[in-house]
């Protein structure tokens, strides 16, 4: 059963969205830090400039009275946060000479020239203190920390909110875009899904994106291979039908002759031919079943089987055939103990077909010998063998050679070959004593 996996669209979207979010987050973090630093610097510069500006207004020469209140011009650096900027002017003796609206009466800073931070009545202040070199007056200009934080927060909010909205919009666009980008996949899927099983024409789904071209090419190639396979099966079926119908036609013809004729000799002859035809048809059916079984077992792994055991079974099963042709079956001691990398059924089928072939196509009153050789075993008969040019033909199902006048189904060698493991081969060799069919391991 196929494991359910997320859709390709979702996977692509999540990958792109994750990558985009990561990059956007990094960029946003860098922007926040950078913006905060820049704002702090700008605000500090504003404090310094405001203090310098107040100092330049000439308060050094003003009358120094403790109660005196000076109305300082409000520095207009940032209009929105203008009122948050507070200023104090202190004398050398530590008297408050003036202060701006909203500024506390306590010193904004107790440190010397430069920037400092201080809590006054629970309010945090960042202050720049300017000490006038001539008069010793100290001019303090400060912002509340809360204002500064608010300023930074407002600024960042102005950056982050559009970014988040943009991210959301990007997500939607990505989802739609990935979906549209995958439309050729949906088109190809629909084209395949709408096909009838017997339709093995090439896919007509042009234009195909470059990335999907190898996939469609492989699908087309698969269709071609399946079509070739089916053609082979059709040819095999047609041949099997022919091979089955021909002896049946012979059966029927002789049955009609037997029914029509009053001549006992004619009837007897027809009945004998019917018997031969039935035997041949039965052999053909058995071989077709063997072939079908071999095709079904093709996926199973290698086995191990004793040649001697297979020999005994074959000798028992072919006894009528051997007796009819007066053929003696022998096996050497070495061959009897030979173990072959085949399952017992496959070895039995291969051996039976080779022996049956030798018995039927070889001479009568002869010996069919089974022996062991270095890489396997052989079946030797006293016949004239097979012409080298005919061997490939005879390994195909239902193939017969014109030179062979003997009756055969044309399946024996094909079945023997199909019964062998992929790393085994069927070979043929003329020897002094006759002709050998060899089953050899390729290793």
Residues of this chain that bind another protein (CB under 8 A): 238, 241-254, 256-257, 260-261, 266, 269-270, 273, 276-277, 280, 400-402, 404-405, 407
**Plot region of 308 (φ>0 → left; ψ -120 to 50 → alpha; else → beta):** alpha
Burial class of residue 424 (count of CB atoms within 10 Å of its CB; 0-12, 13-18, 19+)? buried
To the nearest whole angstrom, how small is the minimum distance from the Cβ of residue 271 to another protein? Answer: 12
Phi, psi at 373, each rounded to 5°: -130, 180
For another protein, which is the closer residue by CB, 31 or 246? 246
For another protein, which is the closer residue by CB, 161 or 238? 238
To the nearest whole angstrom, how small is the minimum distance from the Cβ of residue 413 to another protein? Answer: 15
For another protein, which is the closer residue by CB, 41 or 260? 260
For another protein, which is the closer residue by CB, 91 or 246? 246
Identify the CA nearest to 327 among candidates 394, 382, 259, 280: 382
To the nearest whole angstrom, how small is the minimum distance from the Cβ of residue 272 to another protein? Answer: 10
| Contacts for 68 with CB less than 8 Å, ≥ 6 apart | 62, 97, 98
What CA–CA distance (Å, rounded) separates 89 from 91?
7
188 half-sphere exposure, CB direction, 13 A CA radius: 20
Cα–Cα distance list, 138 to 76, 109, 318, 323 (Å): 21, 10, 127, 135
Radius of gyration of the chain measured on its C-alpha atoms = 51
For another protein, which is the closer residue by CB, 117 or 256? 256
To the nearest whole angstrom, how small is the minimum distance from the Cβ of residue 197 to another protein? Answer: 20
To the nearest whole angstrom, how small is the minimum distance from the Cβ of residue 276 to another protein? Answer: 6
To the nearest whole angstrom, how small is the minimum distance from the Cβ of residue 398 to another protein? Answer: 9
To the nearest whole angstrom, how small is the minimum distance from the Cβ of residue 434 to another protein? Answer: 24
For another protein, which is the closer residue by CB, 250 or 341? 250
For another protein, which is the closer residue by CB, 16 or 276? 276
Q: Which H or E run contains 50? A: helix 8-56
What CA–CA distance (Å, rounded) separates 229 from 309?
35
């Amino acid at each position: 059963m196929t494991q359910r996996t997320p859709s390709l669209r979702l996977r692509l979207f999540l990958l792109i969205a994750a990558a985009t979010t990561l990059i956007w987050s990094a960029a946003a973090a860098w922007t926040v830090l950078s913006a905060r630093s820049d704002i702090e610097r700008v605000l500090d510069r504003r404090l310094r400039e405001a203090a310098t500006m107040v100092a330049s207004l000439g308060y050094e020469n003003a009358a120094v009275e403790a109660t005196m209140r000076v109305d300082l011009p409000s520095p207009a650096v940032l209009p929105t946060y203008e009122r948050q900027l507070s200023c104090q002017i202190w004398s050398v003796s530590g008297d408050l000479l003036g202060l701006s609206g909203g500024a506390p009466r306590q010193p904004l800073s107790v440190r010397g020239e430069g920037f400092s931070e201080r809590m006054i009545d629970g309010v945090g202040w960042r202050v720049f203190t300017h000490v006038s070199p001539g008069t010793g007056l100290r001019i303090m200009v400060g912002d509340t920390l809360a204002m500064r934080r608010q300023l930074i927060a407002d600024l960042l909010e102005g950056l982050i909110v559009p970014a988040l909205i943009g991210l959301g919009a990007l997500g939607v666009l990505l989802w739609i875009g990935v979906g549209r980008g995958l439309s050729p996949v949906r088109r190809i899927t629909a084209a395949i899904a709408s096909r009838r099983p017997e339709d093995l024409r090439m896919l007509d789904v042009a234009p195909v994106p470059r990335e999907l071209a190898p996939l469609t090419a492989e699908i087309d190639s698969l269709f071609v291979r399946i079509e070739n396979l089916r053609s082979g099966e059709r040819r095999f079926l047609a041949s099997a039908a022919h091979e089955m119908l021909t002896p049946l036609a012979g059966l029927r013809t002789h049955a009609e002759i037997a029914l029509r004729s009053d001549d006992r000799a004619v009837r007897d002859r027809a009945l004998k031919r019917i018997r031969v035809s039935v035997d041949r048809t039965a052999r053909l059916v058995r071989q077709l079943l063997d072939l079908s079984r071999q095709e079904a077992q093709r996926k199973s792994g290698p086995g191990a089987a004793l040649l001697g055991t297979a020999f005994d079974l074959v000798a028992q099963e072919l006894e009528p055939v051997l007796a009819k042709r007066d053929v003696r079956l022998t096996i050497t001691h070495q061959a009897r103990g030979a173990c072959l990398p085949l399952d017992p059924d496959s070895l039995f089928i291969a051996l039976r077909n080779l022996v049956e072939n030798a018995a039927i196509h070889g001479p009568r009153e002869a010996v069919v010998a089974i022996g062991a050789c270095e890489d396997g075993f052989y079946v030797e008969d006293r016949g004239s063998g097979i012409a080298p040019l005919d061997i490939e033909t005879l390994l195909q199902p239902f193939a017969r050679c014109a030179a062979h006048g003997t009756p055969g189904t044309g399946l024996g060698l094909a079945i023997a070959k199909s019964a062998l493991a992929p790393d085994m081969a069927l070979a043929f060799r003329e020897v002094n004593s006759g002709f050998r069919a060899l089953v050899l391991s390729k290793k």
